[in-house]
Structure 1
Amino acid sequence: MPQRLVAVSFNAPTSELAGRVTGQGATLRDIPGTLFLGGGVPVAVDGTSIAGIGVGGAPSGDLDEKYARAGLATIR
């Protein structure tokens, strides 16, 4: 599942979700086809996720997320 879809499905940046996949037993990481790296941010209206922005290709997930957030700020 692309970063933007994960971000909108869970209404959270993918970098935040990466912190939730630790521990023992089944986790979010067990969902087939998901990717938990920085770079995906949800687009919300009145607290409801309606879309997501995913950026990849920068040297790090932190930069990918920075650029995704900049894109979100531009359309707001």
Structure 2
Amino acid sequence: AQRLTNAPTLKDIPGTLFLAGGAPVTTKGAPIAAIGVAGAPSGDLDEKFAQAGVASLGR
């Protein structure tokens, strides 16, 4: 457990920035695209709207 606290994670990849607001689009369990939303007052709302967009694709 101690080693895990010092292990690199995805956030440590140079040139990357992880923020809320994205939702994957999948088919048959495999990712094929994504929807990203920005501009709502919070990342939680951005993500909620992105997930609503993905859900609307299945209609």
What TM-score comes out, normalization by structure 2 length? 0.79
Question: Matches of 1:61 and 1:73 in 2, distance apart?
Answer: 18
Superposed, which structure 2 residues align to 1:28-47 within 5 Å?
28-47=10-29
Q: Distance in 1 between matches of 2:37 and 2:44?
A: 10
Q: Which runs of 5+ in 2 are unaligned?
A: none
The root-mean-square deviation of aligned C-alpha atoms, in Å, is 1.1
Structure 1 segments, 4+ long, off by >6 Å, are none
Match of 1:61 in 2: 43
In 2, the alpha carbon distance for the partners of 1:71 and 1:64 equals 11
Shift of 1:40: 0.7
Percentage of identical aligned residues: 63
TM-score normalised by length of structure 1: 0.64
| Structure with greater proportional strand content | 2
The number of equivalent residue pairs is: 54
The CA deviation at 1:37 is 1.4
Distance across 1 between alignment mates of 2:48 and 2:28: 22
SS of the aligned residue for 1:70 comes to helix
Amino acid at match of 1:37: L
Higher relative contact order (CA 8 A, sep 6+): 1
